[in-house]
Amino acid sequence: MSLNTSKIRADFPIFHRKINHNPLIYFDNAATTQKPKQVIESIKNFYEKHNANVHRAVYTLSQEATELYENAREQIAKFINSKNTAEVIFTRGTTEAINLIAYSWGLRNLTQDDEILISEMEHHSNIVPWKIISKINGFAIKYARINDDGTLNYEDFTNKVSNKTKIVSISQVSNVNGIINDIKKIGKIAHENNSLVLVDGAQSVPHMKVDVKELDIDFLAFSGHKMLGPTGIGALYCKKEHFENMGPFQGGGEMIKEVNFDRKTQHSKIIWNLPPWKFEAGTPNISGSIGFMEAVKYLDRIGMDNVRTHEKKLTEYTFDCLKECKKITINGPQDTSLKSGIIAFNIQGLSSHDVALFADNFGIMIRSGYHCAQPLHQVFDLRSSARISFYIYNTFEEIDRFVEVLKEIEQF
């Protein structure tokens, strides 16, 4: 089904804006998406009508806030088809979700004889947390290679998994060239070697149906702000059976059941709270979780298959139009069955920042730099790239305008 972009756009107040006297064209959805009024209103409504802390008090407002917060968890669990709501831990986003696993599970379970496997296409947030923990525990980090066209080299991946591999931590979709990895295949190889599988879903969960049961994965990390929700909220799906092997992530209120203090000995004995709260220290982002719930409801109404189809059509159309731009090199394959709605490119003789600044003059927001994926750029001997990334409100007309501007840039 085609998306009714005019109807969708009417929900996004930001599209009333002009930038440099031009209508706003927002093509940096891989970084963060715009927010519909339903999400904005839900946050406002919470602060105007229900604001109180959660899980602590018996009074009405606190009960309401707790119910909303836990409803949000349930809604997000359903969205990824987790059958057990406790398997969804709220985090600040994908980065914190991966850190949570690295610290809570990694610190406890990885030793100097172990290996973990990531890939050359990872975002820094799926490299750096593991580097930090490996400095403490001494395990080795292996990188599965990518092919010349940017796709994962499954042969190299398979060769690097062994009974030493304790976890495969890999993105489902690259945030640079939009390559979609075959998580079922990766998971099968990993599990056959008794390795766990963590999927960085930052660029997949917002754009396609991601079903944790069907994929049979152990952990899934994703961010609310990349899927219409507010910043500062995200989630970690964690298969329930792994909870017993995970220590606490951060310490504080919420994550404990009891702190029993013996004044004589000056010792306190702590009993952890049950998961998921054991991993949610301190006052959580309550309004953020409510906005996130509203975002997920919005996407459910559209249907994730329709989201994917729309972005696929936009991407195909863009590739077609870009044939007219002779100085452009596209990073990665142009087969849209292999990739999401993210296109990274370079223009001969121009830095990616020049391209982005030029586009900004025409109200077009695109990303430039190495998109927190420096290793991938180094594999291709690139210092940076320009990147456009689509979402449900983007239109074919916007692409036409963008290509017109690109042609001007080429001449410039």
Ligand X SMILES: Cc1ncc(COP(=O)(O)O)c(C=O)c1O
Please report how close the Cβ of residue 362 comes to ligand X at its closest, in angstroms. Answer: 24
Strand bridging mode 22-23 / 25-26: unpaired
Q: Using the rule CB under 6 A, is 42 a contact of ligand X?
A: no
Query: Minimal CA–CA distance to 222: which of 87, 95, 372, 71?
Result: 95
Residue (314 or 376) nearer to ligand X, CB: 376
Q: Which long-range contacts (CB under 8 A, 24 or more apart) does 162-165 make?
A: 162/115, 162/193, 163/193, 163/194, 164/113, 164/114, 164/115, 165/114, 165/115, 165/116, 165/117, 165/190, 165/193, 165/195
Q: In terms of DSSP bridges, do strands 342-347 and 328-331 run parallel, antiparallel, or are they unpaired?
A: antiparallel
Q: How far is the CB of 223 from ligand X (least distance, A)?
A: 3
Site for ligand X contains 276 (CB under 6 A): no
Active site residues: 372
Q: Which is nearer to ligand X, 358 or 380 (CB)?
A: 380
Instruction: Give 65 or 198: the residue with its C-beta nearer to ligand X.
Output: 198
Q: In the complex, what is the shortest distance from the CB of residue 298 to ligand X, in angstroms, rounded to a whole number? A: 18
Site size for ligand X (CB under 6 A): 14
Q: Which one, 93 or 230, has the nearer CB to ligand X?
A: 93
Q: Does 95 bind ligand X (CB under 6 A)?
A: yes
Any contact of residue 273 with ligand X (CB under 6 A)?
A: no
Q: Does 93 bind ligand X (CB under 6 A)?
A: yes
Out of 76, 117, 170, 202, name the contact with ligand X by CB under 6 A: 202
Question: Judged by CB under 6 A, which of 34, 66, 125, 395 binds ligand X?
Answer: 125
Q: Judged by CB under 6 A, does residue 203 bind ligand X?
A: yes
Closest approach, Cβ 224 to ligand X, in A, equals: 8
Residue 1's Cβ-count burial label (10 Å; 0-12, 13-18, 19+) is exposed
Residue 339: φ, ψ to 5°: -145, 165
Taking the least distance from each CB to ligand X, the nearer of 94 and 195 is 94
Both tokens assigned to 86: 């406790």
Q: Mark out the alpha helices in 242-334 (DSSP H runs).
A: 286-302, 304-322
Whether residue 183 contacts residue 172, with contact meaning beta carbons closer than 8 Å, is answered with yes
> CA 172 to CA 183: how far, in whole Å?
6
> Is the Cβ of residue 125 or residue 395 nearer to ligand X in the bound state?
125
SS (H, E, C) 16-79: HCEECCEECEECECCCCCCCCHHHHHHHHHHHHHHCCCCCCCCCHHHHHHHHHHHHHHHHHHHH
CB of residue 203 vs ligand X: minimum separation in angstroms?
5
Please state the closest distance from residue 177 (CB atom) to ligand X, in A: 11
- Asked whether position 29 contacts ligand X by CB under 6 A, the answer is no
CB of 326 to ligand X, least distance (A): 30
**Binding to ligand X (CB under 6 A): which residues in 217-236?**
223
- In DSSP notation, 327-364 reads TEEEES---TTSB-SEEEEEETTS-HHHHHHHHHHTTE
Task: Check if the beta carbon of residue 117 is closer than 8 Å to that of residue 144.
Answer: yes
- Cβ atoms within 10 Å of 214's Cβ, excluding its own: 11
Residue 112, both tokens = 């100097």
Residue from 66, 175, 287, 384 touching ligand X (CB under 6 A): that is 175
Does position 123 interact with ligand X (CB under 6 A)? The reply is yes
Asked if 94 interacts with ligand X (CB under 6 A), we say yes
Residue 275 interacting with ligand X (CB under 6 A): no
Residue type, 310: H
Of 57-65, 91-99, 354-362, 391-399, the window that binds ligand X (rule: CB under 6 A) is: 91-99
Please, which of residues 126-145 interact with ligand X by CB under 6 A? 126
Q: Does 34 bind ligand X (CB under 6 A)?
A: no
Q: Of 51-59, 65-73, 196-204, 252-260, which part binds ligand X (CB under 6 A)?
A: 196-204
User: Shortest approach of ligand X to residue 27 CB, angstroms?
Assistant: 15
- Which amino acid is present at 53? N
Told to check if 367 binds ligand X by CB under 6 A, we report no
Rule CB under 6 A: say whether 341 interacts with ligand X: no
Residue numbers of the site for ligand X (CB under 6 A)? 30-31, 93-95, 123, 125-126, 171, 175, 200, 202-203, 223
